[in-house]
Structure 1
């Protein structure tokens, strides 16, 4: 166990005293300094642009566009197999649905393969273009097995996961229209999505090579889930931990044309684990849930209960973890709702997988010589 991991139960609560996310989450969004890539910055080591459509009709279930610009220097999110020659130039794209082989996971060298100006389109190779001119956001994905075009209009309802001097992470409620194409099939879509942005300090900004494991920030558990309760109401459910300390356990509820709410009296529980851990491309195992539940209380009264059962494939590439979809049964302020939800899951806690953790230790020697193919197989990098 690293020194950073042992220090987390003291450091995380102290850091959270600088956070203003609760007040910001019920205040209309008016920030003009965000949604910039900061590629050359050594203050903001990494940024994240995310566009999520959480409840598409079957067989798609969801469409995510999850990106990083810069290595994060964290346990959960750094897949060092795809690090650029200068890790600070590492860029990542994960875009997937639950259908067939619609799964694009790729690493890029931002210095030679991408274009990240402070204003204008952001481009990850020839695969993804994102244009942000708030309130308008446009996404064009041209992947090997599917293509997507999405247009979103953000609202001023902002849900903050972190709002501090060293880290900003925000989600904007955003109605969308989209087109998804694969083969001869074209699917028109519309609904309620979310546009997200983060920027953060990290010790990785001081070093070209990826930080060694002991020096990475010990964020070792992350789940983020999105549920649309009806065409106008969206729920965001978040649980993030570092070395046993809770960094963020919140539920945000926002309504199109209505209010934004945030709750911190939240309980999350995995009620049944999948019997088989998932293995990433390097062979590392990760325990994943089959069933889980969320409970939210306000003033002592239970206002939300969500029970979920994962029923879609787990897609690798959310940092070192996975995305999927689930069916849910939810009670929100006494009313029953059912539907589909979007799931992100990364669990790198040392005791997370029991015997699977021991398997991970056995796999390290073979994984260290493995290679990863990025984009459509045009090149690969081997670990040394």
Structure 2
């Protein structure tokens, strides 16, 4: 029964992703419009409609040894293959929350689960969100304040979001967005405080899921078969940011897009995107012994018809930090071309590859 159910979900996924989703998804047209939905970004704790929400703040380019700062959160369990770690579930799985935060510096890695009823305090309008004493995000759009302290490291950032929004999904049942933003503040490293600033992102998602119907984690055979996810945030210069995404469900492409954002400019979305991976020889092993294929390098190619927008080659050169669902985050050095000119730098990426385990 379990195998037949899994086969049914995997058979249905390409149809839903390839035929149904494009008919209802407005991500391309909405990404070309200014963001005006500040009321959207609510936590929906205990909702039986919106099973989970996500808040994220990502600073993709920091000086060594930090390289990046990520703050990746979930409120509620997702009911998906990629993002659920059932061994961390709260007594009521729907009240599971997690925080992953890290930099590339030694010891800068926090991944913890929380019970939204016992450990967290979320204002219904999303104006103040607290995960225990570890992380507080305050929102008065377009202004945000992030304060975190994880023992070895922490951050205090003042963030100003722009009206530029990248929608990865915009449907009646799943929304996922990224706002281009700027930040200034500090990263705390032991007894040191380091000033940081530059481009960053403010991110939010909400989704329906079968998990909303059950206190216990959705069994593996019923989880939504989203089994590959990679997301890259690249500052090409002090004003230009490129987002690259590749998401698959049971072999079907759910999102493969490039969003190009320019401060005080506009967002352009490119759909002609190719992604090549050079795998690392050895897999990464997570805390419960699961192996995952991880990359040693990438090549992204972005085109607009006959025009080559960008070709970027990246080499992963930081430790990978576990806890982005079942996967990892890290940084890589890149070089290549952007609109015919040379570019190079450091970029932030997220990686989850469960495809080999789901076949």
Find the counterpart in structure 2 of residue 263 from structure 1.
Answer: 270
CA distance in 2, matches of 1:133, 1:4: 41
- Partner secondary structure for residue 157 of structure 1: strand
**Does 2:346 match 1:350?**
no
Q: Which stretches in structure 2 are left out of the alignment for 5+ residues? A: none
**Does 2:97 match 1:63?**
no
CA distance in 2, matches of 1:156, 1:305: 27
Find the counterpart in structure 2 of residue 380 from structure 1.
Answer: none
Root mean square deviation, CA, Å: 1.1
Find the counterpart in structure 2 of residue 54 from structure 1.
Answer: 60
Q: For each residue in 1:45-71, what CA deviation from the matched residue of structure 2 results, as whole angstroms up to 9, or x when unmatched? A: 100000000010000000000000000
8 Å CA contact 1:303–1:333 kept in 2: the answer is yes
8 Å CA contact 1:97–1:103 kept in 2: the answer is yes
- Residue 351 of structure 1 deviates from its aligned partner by 5.9
Aligned length: 352
Find the counterpart in structure 1 of residue 169 from structure 2.
Answer: 162
Find the counterpart in structure 2 of residue 207 from structure 1.
Answer: 214
Counting only pairs closer than 5 Å after superposition, residues 165-176 of structure 1 correspond to structure 2 as 165-176=172-183
- Partner secondary structure for residue 155 of structure 1: strand
Find the counterpart in structure 1 of residue 26 from structure 2.
Answer: 20
- Residue 16 of structure 1 deviates from its aligned partner by 2.6
Find the counterpart in structure 1 of residue 199 from structure 2.
Answer: 192
Counting only pairs closer than 5 Å after superposition, residues 1-384 of structure 1 correspond to structure 2 as 2=6, 3-13=8-18, 14-119=20-125, 120-270=127-277, 272-350=278-356
- The TM-score with structure 2 as length reference comes to 0.96
8 Å CA contact 1:16–1:247 kept in 2: the answer is no
Q: Which stretches in structure 1 are left out of the alignment for 5+ residues? A: 358-384
CA distance in 1, matches of 2:30, 2:231: 19
- Partner secondary structure for residue 39 of structure 2: coil
8 Å CA contact 1:71–1:78 kept in 2: the answer is yes
- Partner secondary structure for residue 17 of structure 1: helix
- Residue 42 of structure 1 deviates from its aligned partner by 0.9
8 Å CA contact 1:237–1:252 kept in 2: the answer is yes
Report which stretch shifted further, 211-220 or 330-339.
330-339
- The TM-score with structure 1 as length reference comes to 0.90
Q: For each residue in 1:146-191, what CA deviation from the matched residue of structure 2 results, as whole angstroms up to 9, or x when unmatched? A: 1210111000000000001001111000000020112221100010
